[in-house]
Structure 1
Amino acid sequence: MDIFNYHPKTGEFLGAGVAEPNPLEPDDPLVPGYATTLAPPQAEERRAPVYRNAGGQPPQNWPDGSWTLVPDYRAVPLFRTADGSAFGLGDEYNGLGDLPAFLTDEARPGPAYKWVADEWVLDEQLETQQLTAQALAQRDALLAEADQLIAPLMDGFVLDELTPEEEIRLKALSQYRKALRAVNGQAGFPRTINWPVKPA
């Protein structure tokens, strides 16, 4: 008699075998635990056969359950809906069955998206905050770089020892620094920014 083994924790089909002979009742072969004489249905794309009882658990004794096809996400990248981070299969969810509410197979399009009503939705306020923080950090880095370029010229300016070329460079760097401080006042800020060009 053919038997079909299933996993004791997940109920997933593991493979076929043959029942052991029953020395006491030759016409009734021995079916081991977590095996059934019922053939599983054919697996489908992203659906796998599992053997479970009415409570959703794999029964040790096969007459207590039946085969069903359930969603199979074991080969699909999954993500947490809370923050879009990648999810690894384990005790929380093993990949068999419907996705729990805290998971999705849709990658988060960007850091400003939130999971709302079963889909990623752009949070424009959050996006504005993130873009503003990025732009101001970039501006501050450029200002610090400009300060380092201006610093050695300031001594010559105070002492009235700048060459004409140095005076031109100091003025250009000062205008550049002023323009950097004004980027957050631009009409398109922070989504579109016309960054000033650093003097050569």
Structure 2
Amino acid sequence: MEIYNYHPLTGELLSVGVADENPLEPDNPIVPGYATPIAPAAPGERSVLVYRDEGGAAPQNWPNGAWTLAPDYRTVPLYRTNDGSSFQLGAEYSGIGDLPPFLTDEPRPSAAHKWVADEWVLDVVLETEQLAAVARAQRDALLADADHLIAPLMDGFVLGELTPEDETRLRALSQYRKALRAVTTQTGFPRTINWPVKPE
């Protein structure tokens, strides 16, 4: 008689074997623990057959269980709902069965999305804060570059050694730097920014 061995923890089909002969009852072969003579049906898409009892555990003795379909996420990328980071299958979740509340198979669309009521929802306030942080970092980098260009011209100004061309360049760079500092006061900041053009 064919028997179907299943995993003692997950109930997943492991292999097909043959039952041991029973010397006392030849018509009643011996079925070892975590095996069943009941053949499983074909699994569905993204599902796996598991042998479980009414409580959802793999029974040691086959009469206490039955084949059921369980969701199979072992080949699907999973993400933590608290931060959208990738999840590796292991002790927390094996990939067989319903997803626990802390996991999803939907990737987080952006760092400004939060998991709310079983879906990623855009947090507009958080998105605005993130856009503002990126814009300020860009502005600060442009200001540092402008400061680097203005410094030698300021030395010439203090020493009274600026040529008319240098004076025009100093004035243009100073206006550019002033406009950079003002980008955070623009009406559309941080979603729409009219960046000043760096003088040649």
Please give the range of the TM-score, normalised by the shorter of the 2 chains.
Answer: over 0.9
Percent identity between the aligned chains? 73
Supply the RMSD in Å over aligned alpha carbons.
1.1
Shift of 1:138: 1.1
TM value normalised by structure 1: 0.96
- Please give the per-residue CA displacement for 1:140-164, whole angstroms capped at 9, x wherever unaligned: 1111111111111111001110112
Give SS of 2:68's match: strand
Indicate yes or no: 2:138 matched with 1:138: yes
Q: Match of 1:27, as an amino acid?
A: D
* Number of the residue aligned with 2:83: 83
Unmatched segments (≥5 aa) in structure 2: none
- Please give the per-residue CA displacement for 1:83-123, whole angstroms capped at 9, x wherever unaligned: 11111111111111111111111111101111111111111
Q: Match of 2:88, as an amino acid?
A: G
* Number of the residue aligned with 1:109: 109
Structure 1 stretch 137-146 or stretch 16-25: which is displaced more? 16-25
Indicate yes or no: 2:63 matched with 1:63: yes
Following the alignment from structure 2 to structure 1, what is the Cα–Cα distance between the partners of residues 116 and 57?
Answer: 31
Following the alignment from structure 1 to structure 2, what is the Cα–Cα distance between the partners of residues 155 and 102?
Answer: 60
Following the alignment from structure 1 to structure 2, what is the Cα–Cα distance between the partners of residues 41 and 90?
Answer: 27
- Is contact 1:7–1:13 with CA below 8 Å preserved after alignment? yes
* Number of the residue aligned with 1:45: 45
Following the alignment from structure 2 to structure 1, what is the Cα–Cα distance between the partners of residues 28 and 178?
Answer: 92
Following the alignment from structure 2 to structure 1, what is the Cα–Cα distance between the partners of residues 20 and 109?
Answer: 54
Following the alignment from structure 1 to structure 2, what is the Cα–Cα distance between the partners of residues 175 and 63?
Answer: 85
Indicate yes or no: 2:124 matched with 1:96: no
Q: Match of 1:144, as an amino acid?
A: A
TM value normalised by structure 2: 0.96
- Please give the per-residue CA displacement for 1:1-55, whole angstroms capped at 9, x wherever unaligned: 0101111111111121111222332222121211100111211101110001112
Shift of 1:58: 0.7
Following the alignment from structure 2 to structure 1, what is the Cα–Cα distance between the partners of residues 167 and 23?
Answer: 107
Unmatched segments (≥5 aa) in structure 1: none
Following the alignment from structure 2 to structure 1, what is the Cα–Cα distance between the partners of residues 179 and 102?
Answer: 46
- Is contact 1:41–1:69 with CA below 8 Å preserved after alignment? no
* Number of the residue aligned with 2:157: 157
Count of aligned pairs = 200
